[in-house]
Amino acid sequence: MHRRLRDYIGDNVLKIDLTQIRGLDDLNQPEGPIQEAHELAAAAYGANFSYFLVNGSTAGNQAMLMTALRPGDSVLLPRNSHKSATSALIMSATKPVYMPPEVDQELHIDHCVTPATVAAGLRANPDAKAVFITSPTYYGATADLAAIEEIVHAHGKLLMVDEAWGPHLHFHPELPLSATAAGADVCVNSTHKLLAGMSQASMLHTTGERVDQGRLRSTLRLFQSTSPSLVLLASLDVARMQMATEGRALLSRTLQLARETRAALNDIDGIYCMGSDHVGRPGVAGYDETRIVITVKRLGYTGYEAEEILRTRYDVQVELADLFNVVALVSIGDSAETVGRLIAAVRELARARRSATDVPSGILKDRLQAGSYQLPAIPEQVATPREAFLSDHVEIPFLESAGRVCAEVVTPYPPGIPILCPGERITNDIIEYLRLELKAGSHMQGPVDTKLRTIRVLPSP
């Protein structure tokens, strides 16, 4: 390797960047150290089986659906599922039945689906084979997994949980109930998001006997590289070890830092930072207090603008921005110094607030002044995601696409929640919503034309 990178990353990373040679085990057929690491992970998470993933929770979500469902089967899932769930629908040739999440109109935040929504969904769709839940959300709300587990299993269905944002939950009693503790049949954790796993390093866990482990392993082999990075696998094993041995102490410190951060932010005039006081509101059965959602709309900035200012002027990088909020994470790697920088930066941002007359006019100004935001209704589903994604298509001007059937996934990123999925009929409300997101600075993932001047649709209306 050229010195320029080698000197930077160090020789040890390269020394363990080996291929699957004898003695080092094989992620796709583990029998030695990787199998042992899987078993230790299962024990740490209260699972009966755990699997390391080197293609993120994306691969885990895809494997979950492919394992449990057959082509044509339907699955109940929240509309605010991550786009990896959409990719899983495309790959598994399954039909989505979307459940509406609870929406906080004031903060412009989608929370979780409620047990009542799940029960109603199952009553209306008795043929659905599984229920897929996202918990925690990007914003830290968790679903009532204990109640949902009872409902789903009483109906004889499978419960899958996208717990990408909750790899730490299992290790502290003051954090919300983890998916494995709630008895989800299968769940994924992005270990790389909040613990010491390196980017792409995730885990999939199962509990109980409902998941066919043989099929799951075969499916994982479809989605994982035959040359998994041992650097990533080592980071997963060490992340597990760190949680198993010192997780509670590390997370106690993290929670304390996060609580102090939230309190300090809420003392800043013009700033609001939601917290566990939201628990009990619709779709917020629990709250991960390590998530710091900073609502900036009273400062006259969009979240996107605030993110940019925090990054360029104060060298503080937040996890995500939306129209009204920025989201920061307090993790086991943080310290009083790092959160202090965030607080100081937000204080400066609030001091430099923009007066109403400085906000550029147009729909963005209207939305900021109204302080609320209507998400578009879930559109009519005309074809399955797979049929539409793989079908022939034509490219037409986006602004003239109302009434046509979308052939792409259109996802403002972050947070990565699709507004249009393949097979859905485009509406004027959706066009307006996406125009606003683009104008406000959101990046579109999925469409071939990321500026959405054009969109791919099915040939016949």
Ligand X SMILES: Cc1ncc(COP(=O)(O)O)c(C=O)c1O
- Residues making contact with ligand X (CB under 6 A): 56-58, 61, 82, 84, 134, 138, 162, 164-165, 190, 202, 416
Distance between CA 443 and CA 397 in Å, rounded? 18
Q: How far is the CB of 211 from ligand X (least distance, A)?
A: 19
Tally: H helices and E strands in the chain: 16, 19
Task: Name which of 84 and 229 has its Cβ closer to ligand X.
Answer: 84
Task: Name which of 203 and 368 has its Cβ closer to ligand X.
Answer: 203
Q: End-to-end distance of the chain based on CA atoms, in angstroms?
A: 53
Check if the beta carbon of residue 188 is closer than 8 Å to that of residue 148: no
Q: How far is the CB of 84 from ligand X (least distance, A)?
A: 4
Task: Name which of 54 and 364 has its Cβ closer to ligand X.
Answer: 54
C-alpha distances out from residue 341 to 56, 163, 238, 315, 334, Å? 30, 29, 29, 9, 11
**Coil, strand or helix: which one is 348?**
helix
Rounded to 10 degrees, what is the CA torsion of 237, 239, 241, 246? Answer: 180
Q: How far is the CB of 27 from ligand X (least distance, A)?
A: 16
Distance between CA 156 and CA 322 in Å, rounded? 38
Residue with the shortest CB distance to ligand X: 56
Q: How far is the CB of 293 from ligand X (least distance, A)?
A: 14
Q: How far is the CB of 80 from ligand X (least distance, A)?
A: 9
Q: How far is the CB of 61 from ligand X (least distance, A)?
A: 6
- Extract long-range pairs of 397-403: CB within 8 Å, 24+ residues apart: 397/453, 397/454, 397/455, 398/431, 398/434, 398/449, 398/452, 398/453, 398/454, 398/455, 399/431, 399/435, 401/426, 401/431, 401/455, 401/457, 402/426, 402/427, 402/428, 402/431, 403/461
Task: Name which of 167 and 447 has its Cβ closer to ligand X.
Answer: 167
Q: How far is the CB of 455 from ligand X (least distance, A)?
A: 24
Task: Name which of 236 and 243 has its Cβ closer to ligand X.
Answer: 236
Tokens of 9: 């990353």
Q: For residue 408, which phi and psi values (nearest 5 degrees)? A: -125, 170
Task: Name which of 222 and 394 has its Cβ closer to ligand X.
Answer: 222
Distance between CA 15 and CA 416 in Å, rounded? 35
Rounded to 10 degrees, what is the CA torsion of 212, 214, 218, 224? Answer: 80
Task: Name which of 416 and 423 has its Cβ closer to ligand X.
Answer: 416
Q: How far is the CB of 363 from ligand X (least distance, A)?
A: 27
Peptide bond into 176 cis (omega under 30): no
Distance between CA 171 and CA 387 in Å, rounded? 42
SS (H, E, C) 109-146: EECCCCHHHHHHHHHHCCCCCEEEEECCCCCCEECCHH
Q: How far is the CB of 412 from ligand X (least distance, A)?
A: 13
270: left (phi over 0), alpha (psi -120 to 50) or beta: left
Task: Name which of 94 and 191 has its Cβ closer to ligand X.
Answer: 191
Q: How far is the CB of 178 from ligand X (least distance, A)?
A: 15
Q: How many CB atoms lie within 10 A of CB 126?
A: 9
Task: Name which of 140 and 300 has its Cβ closer to ligand X.
Answer: 140
Task: Name which of 57 and 401 has its Cβ closer to ligand X.
Answer: 57
